[in-house]
């Protein structure tokens, strides 16, 4: 029983620590709620091995060319340390309005500090999420994620490219789902605005649609009655003029 109580207490403490970390993270980020968070830890070894293999290939080619590759091979332990620090510091998550990517990596000579990178991509400017994998990446099971922008004239170099994500398909699905929800919300708002427009116009006039329709019918019938009365009046005037002409002719014949 004592061991069970200790396990429960440890689990509660762990939950408290995790909740505290989440609160500190929310305060530090100062962003909206996180809808989806990508992970890099599972692919850390694969990513480092892929980058090291690429570095060794370049080093061998440069040894054959100018001999610079020898210095690159000597730099290999430092390169491995930088890659480890880089992928462990990466954060990629989706908020209701943007995609946020953060990373902190040491400079080529770590004793001189680190480089911090933070990128916010607004969701309305996202055209698609492209998942890429080259031949060397397929050997190590590494994927590249590329966020394409909406602008047609912008070069591909402006796209955000991220390597080493654990499950890129899930992140792509989350982003596209959020984009479709945003588009449906905008469409529903536009539809509601168009439906409310006739109602507001009638309310400004101060009458309901049925009342206005009845008034339009009554006005139309009144115009028809006035037109008929004018026609009758003109016909009566013509009859009077004809009668006066006949009387004049009869008086002239008697004379």
Question: Is the pLDDT confidence value at 199 over 90?
Answer: no
List Cα–Cα distances, 26 to 16, 82, 89, 142, 174, in angstroms: 15, 27, 17, 30, 20
Query: In which band, very low, low, confident or very high, does the pLDDT at 234 lie, cut at 50, 70 and 90?
Result: confident
Question: Is the pLDDT confidence value at 143 over 80?
Answer: yes
What average pLDDT score do residues 179-204 get?
A: 74
- Fold for the domain defined by 30-196: PH-domain like (2.30.29)
How high is the pLDDT of residue 93? 95
The predicted-structure confidence for 31-80, as pLDDT tens digits, reads as follows: 468 999 999 999 999 999 999 999 999 999 888 877 788 999 999 999 99
What average pLDDT score do residues 161-175 get?
A: 93
How high is the pLDDT of residue 191? 80
Average pLDDT for the chain: 77
Query: In which band, very low, low, confident or very high, does the pLDDT at 154 lie, cut at 50, 70 and 90?
Result: low
Pairing of strands 98-106, 144-149: unpaired
Two tokens at 57? 């290939």
Question: Is the pLDDT confidence value at 26 over 60?
Answer: no
What phi, psi does 35 have (nearest 5°)?
-85, -35
Cα distance between residue 247 and residue 239, in whole Å: 13
Cα distance between residue 163 and residue 54, in whole Å: 14
Query: In which band, very low, low, confident or very high, does the pLDDT at 194 lie, cut at 50, 70 and 90?
Result: confident
How high is the pLDDT of residue 12? 47
Question: Is the pLDDT confidence value at 220 over 60?
Answer: no
Taking the CA of residue 44 as centre, how many other CA atoms within 13 Å lie in the half-sphere pointing to its CB? 15
How high is the pLDDT of residue 69? 87
pTM: 0.62
The predicted-structure confidence for 71-103, as pLDDT tens digits, reads as follows: 999 999 999 999 999 999 999 999 999 999 999
How high is the pLDDT of residue 231? 74
């Amino acid at each position: 029983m004592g061991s069970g109580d200790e396990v429960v207490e440890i689990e509660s403490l762990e939950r408290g620590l995790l909740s505290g970390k989440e609160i500190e993270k929310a305060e530090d980020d100062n962003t909206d709620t996180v809808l989806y968070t990508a992970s890099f830890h599972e692919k850390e070894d694969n990513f480092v091995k892929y980058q090291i293999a690429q570095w060794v290939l370049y080093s061998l080619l440069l040894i054959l060319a100018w001999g610079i590759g020898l210095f690159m091979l000597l730099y290999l332990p430092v390169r491995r340390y930088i890659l480890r620090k880089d992928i462990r510091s990466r954060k990629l998550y989706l908020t209701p309005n943007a995609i946020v990517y953060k990373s902190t990596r040491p400079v080529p000579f770590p004793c001189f500090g680190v480089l911090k990178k933070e990128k916010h991509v607004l969701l309305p400017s996202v055209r698609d999420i492209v998942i890429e994998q080259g031949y060397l990446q397929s050997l190590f099971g590494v994927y590249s994620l590329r966020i394409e922008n909406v602008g047609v004239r912008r070069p591909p170099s402006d796209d955000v490219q991220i390597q080493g994500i654990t499950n890129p398909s899930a992140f792509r699905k989350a982003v596209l789902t959020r984009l479709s929800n945003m588009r449906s919300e905008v469409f529903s708002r536009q539809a509601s605005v168009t439906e409310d427009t006739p109602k507001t116009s009638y309310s400004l006039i101060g009458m309901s649609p049925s009342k206005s329709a009845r008034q339009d019918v009554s006005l139309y019938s009144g115009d028809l009655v006035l037109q008929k009365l004018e026609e009758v009046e003109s016909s009566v005037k013509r009859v009077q003029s004809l009668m006066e002409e006949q009387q004049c002719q009869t008086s002239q014949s008697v004379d």
